[in-house]
Structures are given as structure tokens and as C-alpha cells.
Structure 1
Amino acid sequence: MPTATGKKIVTSENYIASHIGAEILEKGGNAFDAAIAVSAALSVVIPHTSGLGGDGFLLARTPEGIIAYNSSGWSPKNLKAEKIGERDPNSVVIPGLVDLWYFLEEYTTLPYEELLYPAISLAINGFYVGKSLHHAILNTVKLNNEWYSVFGNKRFGDFIKFPKLGRILKEIARDPRSFYEGKISEELVEGLHKFNVPVEQSDFSEFHGEKVNLIKINYKDFVVHEFPPNTQGITTLQILKMVEISKINSMPYNDIKRVNNHIKISTIAYEDRNNYVADPRFYKIPDYLLDEEYLAKRMIDEGVQLSLNNGDTTFFAVSDGENDVGLVQSLFYPFGSGIIIDDIVFNNRGYGFSEGNNKPEGRKRPLHTLSILYAEKRDKESLIIGCAGGDLRPQIHAEVFEYYSDYMMEIDEAVNAPRFMYLGNKVIAEKRLGIPATQEDYYSRNVGIVQAIKNKNGKIIGVADPRSEGVVIPVR
């Protein structure tokens, strides 16, 4: 079911994970309980997208206000590289997802042993490979012998187990910080050393994510929020603000003039991203990047041709009727760095470093593609939108939100509507959009996989992108 409405909702990119989240809500757990269970389950069943070796960001709308947590990892303190390759050992940063689970302890109501049990069972007892993991394996060149022994000969419908991951999840269920302090982290550090990752025990033990304040703009009668740098959330807001200033949102959505102007706006926003977005602990991001006067002047420029990459990430959303939670987690590239320690696939987030303000440095977070869009309208209507999409995320967030806010589509229609994407060297578009571009399938994973929830006066609508194997499950 790609769309559903109810008092409580779970939507994710994977049917098993959605079912697990719904079970937690049925047991009386809240949205934070369900979020941990879904996050852990996704870490097992679609390990090419995310997991214990990757990062996570959480955005929650609660009766007390907005909660936003950035648990993106920092580089090892002994990092010496000036340039980092796609699957380079130097691309591994300290994974932050488990720290995000630890942060959520103050908001959960059920014990972690109960919340992680479904994921532990999947890892130890096994599950059938889904289409998403199947395609990721087929599309990945053999990364190393360890990767091949775990994934290389698995195909859709095959049975797969991760017993070592199950053992580690059991330890985490007792104490999430054990992933960073103690025997687990010692084993992981020792294993990473064998792959020449310059990590030390203290890189794990001293790591914590952080609560952050969202950045925002006004767009028509909405207030639109995104995560601040080190994420590219500001790029989404720049695109939307320039769309509003230029008034191209008054044109039909498939008008080629609108599309061409949207592409130009995107190139300008990405150019600013590459010039300014970095870890704010190392570099102060200019205050004026969302000012209308600044953006109006920038729109005179043509922008520059860029190199943009899709990524493999997963986003899900949960609502218990009072709390709406969105969580995005990622390794970056499919199977991240390709380095696997105890069934844990490690990220290659360090490939997000570039040069200048975003150059590689020890204990620094790279420019991060992950973010979540939150929009509200007079406190009676709110949206949480997230996706898989790598560098393309700002375009995906903007297009889906524009469909909703400018073209009078309901949120499920906005997610389903045809998208186009600027990739730097070309423009791709789903065939049903009907514009001159490199044609994709009618529903293509290459234009992003979106999940979303809408809350209007307590009525929840959840959407799972038909471009994935995800489902929405309502709970009474």
C-alpha cells in the first residue's frame, strides 16, 4: 500500500521494516519506540543503504516543539589525506546511527531489548533478500573478498543471515553506548585497522551527535525548515526561495521554461553549497545565503556545470498521533566503503570532503547530503518529507514540496508525480513528464525514493514511494 491514512502511521522503503514499526505502535509504543525498531530493521534488511556503520538524522514534531538531531560522523583524528577516493579507507568516518538510538532513550517508553528484538531475530535467523538489495548487489562491482563472501552470490528470494551483526545488536540493546565504548568498538577498530582505516579507540569513545536548530524560510503561507550545515539542507531552501522569487511556480509543472529555469536555479544553489557548506565547527557559514536580496542577485548568474551523484540512503516516517518522526540513515554509496567488519558495512562519508572550507581534517564532519524537510502552515498542517537521493536530495525535496504547495496536489500525489533531475552533465526525467531530456522509466528510482507524512488536525496521511518496495501501514 503506497498511501494510507489513520491515527497512527508507519511508512518506510521496506515492507518488513514497516510491519515491525506497526507492531511496536500496536503494542502501545510511541513514534520514537517505533522509529528505533524500524531503523534497526532497515539496518538488517537493506544493508546496502544504511546500518550500524553509517549515519543518521532525526526530525520530530512533538507537542513540546521540534526536535532535530544530527548524528553524522566525524573523521578520525589521525586523518592525513588531502584528497579522498570513493571507496578509500580514508573515506570511513565514525558511524553515528547508534548514537542517535542512544539519544532517543529519553523519549522512548519501551525497553531497547524489545525494540531491537525484531532486528536481532532477522539478523540471526535470517530473511529473504528483497528486490532493493538484489539490485544493489547486481549493480556493485566486487568490492573485496569479505563483501563477496557476504553478498556476492545472493539474489532476490535467497535466504541470508548476519549472525555477527545479531550478536552486536544484542549488546547494543543492553547499552547503546557499548558500540562506542568497550569491547564492540575495540573489535571494530581492530578490524578497521586491517583495512588501513586510520581510526583510534578514542575516535569512537569521544563521539556524540548533537541537537541542532533547524534553518527556515517562508514560502507562500508555509514555513519550511531543513537541517543546517554541515548538511545541504540550506541548498533545498535556496532552491525554493529562488523558485518563489522568479515566480516560475506559476507556470505548469511540465512547462519546459519552468524546467529550464528550475535547473538554472539548482546550479546556483549547488555552486553555493560547494563554496560554503562545511562543518560549522571549522568554518562559519555566511549569514546571508537565504536573504532574498542576495538570491535575487545570484539569479542573474548562469551558474556552473557541476558533478552530482545519486546515493543510496533510506528515509522513513512514523506518527503516533501526537509525535511525528522522520529519520534518514545512510552509508552514502551502495555498500558504503565496501569494508565489512562483523557483518557491519562501513560508510564512505569521507568522500564528501572536497577542498577549501570542506577539506579533509581530523575530527571534522564532511559536507553531508542527508537532510529532512519539515513544513508547517498555521500550526494546523505539517509535512515531513525525506528521501534517498544523495546529491540530488535538494532537488527532490523541492520538487515534491512544490507539487504540494504550488500545484494543489495531495501529499501522495506530490510524491507520485513525475520528476526531473539535473545531474550536472545531463537532465533526466521520467517519461510521463513529457519533456525533452534523457528519458527514465515512468517510475524510476533514479529520481529519488521519497517517504512522507502529513498531519492536519490529527489526521495523518502516510506515503511510500511507488518507486520502491516500501509500504505504508496504518494502525488503529
Structure 2
Amino acid sequence: MRDFQFPGRSPVRATEAVAATSHPLATLAAIDMLRSGGNAMDAAVCAAAVQGVVEPQSTGIGGDCFVLYSPGGQGNVLAFNGSGRAPARATVGWYLEKGFDRIPLQGPHAVTVPGAVDAWSRLLEDHGRKGVAEALAPAIHYAENGYVVHDRVAFDWAEPETDLSADEHAARIFLPGGRAPKAGDVHRQPELAATLRIIAKHGRSGFYEGAVADDMVSRLNELGGLHTAEDFAATRGDYVAPVSTSYGGHEIHQMPPNNQGLTALLMLNLLSGFELGGLDPNGAERLHLEIEAGRLAYRDRDRYVGDQDHVPVPLKQLLSGAYADRLRAEIDRDRAMTHLPRVELPGSDTVYISIVDRDRNAVSFINSTYYSFGSGVVGPKTGIVLQNRGSSFRLDPAHPNAIAPGKRPMHTIMPGMATKNGRVVMPFGVMGGGYQPFGHVHLLTNMIDFGMDPQQALDAPRVFYNDDTVEAERGVPTDATEGLRRRGHRIAEPHHPLGGGQVVLIDWEKGTLTGASDPRKDGLALGY
């Protein structure tokens, strides 16, 4: 139980249903959908659509999504890969011939075909009770009539002002009056509202064919992009088999490559060989072990992860106990490793949604346009912000994540699901670009090893190893940062809070649900 004399909030506890998102309007829309007869999947798509309006820097219909879903909370966990692909004309050779040494972070070449709308449509058709029109109705309302800009959204919105000003259509929509909106301002997106109405009427074809697709393709081509109408029309997501490992009596499920979810499982396998529960949860030794496990896991992520439709990924070997034992031997409890390659792990803006309904359908849902306002390219007539997931590709033809026609890039956004004895314990997720595997592991070990409730586990201070530096939030105790320095780590304060997450915990015996939402964002959990 938390100390009520300190700032903070309690987890949300309910019996019927709980929804947790990073924005109050999205959580409310999800609850309204549930109370009107929709299920967890209807509520998740509805919330994601709202966030695509009210958190435009983080997500939208110009991005991708991944979903883990358990009907009734029992049996197999279903996984859906809603990430888009490179244009059919995109080859390593083309970019090298044009003088590129990397895929740019912004502009048309950073854009992969968005997969979110296809995923939403398919998931609603297969698992929802309501249709696309009902799911999009609240988002249309906010885009058309306006919404109040929340504080974390305003904080994020201010940073990319220069990038937004470089695209006349982005500037017109997202820099009204020549500046980013401030907290408390009302913002409207009428072009996006009209686009959402077309999708509500025509479903996925309203996005991937016709006037909406033409607007995106023509703008990309105008800027030099390789995209075609055929690339958009051919977009289809896939049901895939999750990858999993055991930790602390739980099965932890992640998306398979092209997703980086494998990285969190590698970290858990390494940490399972240490008795974390006997350590100080905010102490130097626990944080050091987490950092070192992460450094090894990220090294393997960058070596092996790519689109499995194009390259083999040795999943069985990487997740084996013998492999974890071999890697774990590289960790010194008293000194930071010095033999690993430098890793640069950029952050990103993402939204994550966790929902469990009265029938215990459990959904773990993540949606993103990657960097703040994605590629910076905006459809002039549609108001769609296009993602920059293509910037993750490599231009080394021998690398598993090399760009290729129709290939998916290595993807950072990763929903999580924990089960025990064949039943879902919790859908969970921690967003934040490269930080996400660290975030998943920190959350899980906070709960499993240290007995924290979901809100305590999200509130707890975080560290992240990035670019040869340990970023330590201000909440990390001074004696812990000093202990990390003595172990050879360079310490710095991050420019932004590390990540943001949501959790819904199921107690099958009591028949209750416990939800939590990260204080690093504007959101909250609600239940009834």
C-alpha cells in the first residue's frame, strides 16, 4: 500500500471492466464503448482513434499498430501484426545510387505504408461487436468540434515546431497562428474529421483506395517518394504466433520479429538467474543488473531482428536457457561491461492501451507514428500525419533489417501480455521507442519480484542505457546513481521522462480488475 502522505494516486479497482490509456478522453471513450455494449476490442480501437486526434504528435491513422488479444482471458494469446511495408520500388541499391548513407528520419523516404487502419478494420470484424463507424465516432467529434490540448501533449508538441514548419501542410494544421498549441488551447482538425468520416462509411477501402490514398500518394511522390497506389491497396496485416518466455511463474508474451519484443524476453531470461527480490528495488545493484542485461539483449536485437518474411531469425536459439546462461556469464555484478558495441536508441512518441471487459476479453494494443509527428509529411487534403517507420531500415544489404520491396522494418512498439496457468494475468505495455524492452522488464520485475501493485510499478523511477550513458530519472535515489558510477557507468538526467505505460491486472479468484496509468503522461485508468 502506498504512503498517502506522499504525492501519487491509487490504482483503479473494479469488477466489470477497466480501460487504461495515456489520455483522459481516450479512456472515457473506451469506457463509454464498453458501457454501450462494446467489448474490449471495440473499446481499444475507439480509444486509439481518439488518441490519433488528441495526441497527434504520438499516433494516428498514418501509423502502425500491434495487438495481443485473449478472448475470454483464457487459452491461446492471439497476436496481430499491423505494421506497414516499404514501397515495392524501395531497394538498397536505389538509395545507395542516389547517395544516401541512411534512410532519413523525416520526409517521404521515411514513410512506410500505414498499417493501422487495416488492422483496426480486421480486428473489429474478427473480434468486435460494433463496427468501424461506431468506433470512430468519438474521434470524429473531437477532430471536428475541437479538443483541449493536455499538458504532456503540449510539452511534446512544442519540441518539433521547426520540423513542422518545414512542411506547409503540417504547419497549417499543427502550428495554428505560427506556433504549437499550449496546454489549455482548443485545437481542431477538420481535414482529419472528413477523412475519418470516409473511413467510417467505407471501412479500410476508404483509406487504402480512392481519394484518401490518392492524397497521400500524390504528396509523397511530389516530395520524391517511391510509393504507389498499388502499395497502399495491397496493405494487409497478419495474425502471427507470439514469442514467449517464463519468468517468476508467469508466461510473458510478446510480438515476434519484425518487432523488438524479443529483446524484453532476452532480458528476462538473463535476469531470471539473479535473485532480484532480495535487492533494493531502487538500489544500484538491481539497476546495474537490469542495465547490463539490457545491453546484451539490445546487442542481439540489432544483430538478428528483421522481417521474418524476408530473413530467418534464430528465435529458438536466442530464447533457450543455454543461451541465457552463456550471456549471463558476461555480466559482472560489480563492474559495467566494456566489450559491447555502442548502441544508440532513439525515443519516440507512441500510445499504449490496456483493456479488460466484463467477459474478461483482454487486449494489449499499441499504435504509433514513431517520432513526434512521424515523418513530418502530412496529406494536404486528408490531414493525415504519415509515420517515419522506414527510418529504422538499414542500407547494408547484408543486415537483417536492410530495406527491401514490401519489407517491414524492425519495429519498436510492443504490446505485452502476462499469463499464468493458462489464464491472462494482465495486458501491459510501456511505450517509448527504444526504451520499451527496458520498460516492460522494469514493470514486470517491480510487480513479480518486488510485489508492487500496478500503479506503484509504473510510478517507480527508471533508468535506461543509451549511447554509452545511463539516463536516470530524477526520482532515482542519489545513493543508487553513485553506486552505478562506482560500477563504471556514466550517469545523465534524461531530457524527457522515460516512457509511459498502462496495466490492467486480473484477479480471477476475487473477480476483480486493477488498472493503472503512468504519471509521465496525461492519462488515467477508469473502471466500473
In structure 2, distance between residues paired with 1:270 and 1:352: 15
In structure 2, distance between residues paired with 1:362 and 1:450: 34
Q: 2:12 aligns with which of 1, 4, 9?
A: 4
TM-superposition CA deviations, 1:132-179 (whole Å, max 9, x none) = 331122111422132222222222222211111111111111222221
Q: 1:53 aligns with which of 44, 51, 62?
A: 62
1:226 and 2:254 correspond: yes
The code of the aligned residue for 2:129 comes to T
Q: 2:426 aligns with which of 342, 360, 383?
A: 383
- What is the total number of aligned residue pairs between the two structures? 473
Tell me the C-alpha RMSD between the 2 structures. Answer: 1.8
In structure 1, distance between residues paired with 2:174 and 2:152: 13
1:315 and 2:355 correspond: no
Instruction: Provide the residue aligned with 1:163 in structure 2.
Output: 190
Whether the 8 Å CA contact 1:267–1:304 is kept in 2: the answer is no
Q: Mean alpha-carbon deviation: is it higher for 109-118 or for 273-282?
A: 109-118
Q: 1:67 aligns with which of 60, 78, 86?
A: 78
Q: Mean alpha-carbon deviation: is it higher for 377-386 or for 331-340?
A: 377-386
Instruction: Provide the residue aligned with 1:394 in structure 2.
Output: 437
Instruction: Provide the residue aligned with 1:410 in structure 2.
Output: 453
CA gap of 1:174–1:65, structure 2 versus 1, over 3 A, is: farther
In structure 2, distance between residues paired with 1:429 and 1:61: 35
1:460 and 2:518 correspond: no
- Identify unmatched segments of 5+ residues in structure 2: 1-8, 97-101, 331-336, 485-490
The code of the aligned residue for 2:171 comes to Y
Q: 2:110 aligns with which of 86, 91, 95?
A: 91
Instruction: Provide the residue aligned with 1:349 in structure 2.
Output: 389
Instruction: Provide the residue aligned with 2:132 in structure 1.
Output: 112
TM-score for both structures, normalised by structure 2: 0.86
1:151 and 2:178 correspond: no
**Structure 1 segment 192-203 matched on structure 2, within 5 A:** 192-203=220-231
Comparing both structures, which one devotes a greater share of its residues to strand?
1
The code of the aligned residue for 2:368 comes to S
CA gap of 1:326–1:98, structure 2 versus 1, over 3 A, is: same
1:304 and 2:333 correspond: no
TM-superposition CA deviations, 1:191-228 (whole Å, max 9, x none) = 22122221001111111010011111111211111111
**Structure 1 segment 249-328 matched on structure 2, within 5 A:** 249-286=277-314, 287-301=316-330, 302=337, 303-322=340-359, 323-328=361-366
Q: 2:237 aligns with which of 209, 228, 231?
A: 209
Instruction: Provide the residue aligned with 1:13 in structure 2.
Output: 22
Q: CA deviation at 1:125?
A: 1.4
The code of the aligned residue for 2:374 comes to G
| Secondary structure at 1:433 match in 2 | coil
| Secondary structure at 2:272 match in 1 | helix
Whether the 8 Å CA contact 2:276–2:449 is kept in 1: the answer is no
Q: CA deviation at 1:321?
A: 2.2
TM-superposition CA deviations, 1:48-88 (whole Å, max 9, x none) = 10101100011112136422111011011111325202114
**Structure 1 segment 231-250 matched on structure 2, within 5 A:** 231-250=259-278
| Secondary structure at 2:475 match in 1 | helix
Whether the 8 Å CA contact 2:282–2:461 is kept in 1: the answer is no
In structure 1, distance between residues paired with 2:61 and 2:222: 19
Q: 2:95 aligns with which of 67, 81, 85?
A: 81
In structure 1, distance between residues paired with 2:132 and 2:343: 44
In structure 2, distance between residues paired with 1:255 and 1:305: 25
The code of the aligned residue for 1:296 comes to D
Q: CA deviation at 1:445?
A: 5.1
Q: CA deviation at 1:381?
A: 5.5
TM-superposition CA deviations, 1:220-249 (whole Å, max 9, x none) = 211111111001100000001100124445
| Secondary structure at 1:452 match in 2 | strand
| Secondary structure at 2:68 match in 1 | strand
Instruction: Provide the residue aligned with 1:451 in structure 2.
Output: 502
| Secondary structure at 1:100 match in 2 | helix
Whether the 8 Å CA contact 2:143–2:189 is kept in 1: the answer is yes
| Secondary structure at 1:340 match in 2 | coil
Q: CA deviation at 1:431?
A: 2.9
CA gap of 1:26–1:319, structure 2 versus 1, over 3 A, is: same
| Secondary structure at 2:95 match in 1 | coil
| Secondary structure at 1:357 match in 2 | coil
Whether the 8 Å CA contact 1:231–1:277 is kept in 2: the answer is yes
Q: 2:378 aligns with which of 317, 320, 340?
A: 340
Instruction: Provide the residue aligned with 1:474 in structure 2.
Output: 527
1:172 and 2:180 correspond: no
The code of the aligned residue for 1:161 comes to R
| Secondary structure at 2:318 match in 1 | coil
Q: 1:131 aligns with which of 151, 164, 170?
A: 151
Q: CA deviation at 1:255?
A: 2.9
TM-score for both structures, normalised by structure 1: 0.95
Q: Mean alpha-carbon deviation: is it higher for 120-129 or for 177-186?
A: 177-186
The code of the aligned residue for 2:353 comes to F
Q: 1:370 aligns with which of 400, 413, 436?
A: 413
Instruction: Provide the residue aligned with 2:367 in structure 1.
Output: 329
CA gap of 1:251–1:304, structure 2 versus 1, over 3 A, is: farther
The code of the aligned residue for 1:20 comes to A
| Secondary structure at 1:446 match in 2 | coil
1:25 and 2:31 correspond: no
The code of the aligned residue for 2:172 comes to S
Whether the 8 Å CA contact 2:427–2:503 is kept in 1: the answer is yes
The code of the aligned residue for 1:4 comes to V
| Secondary structure at 2:195 match in 1 | helix
Q: CA deviation at 1:298?
A: 2.1
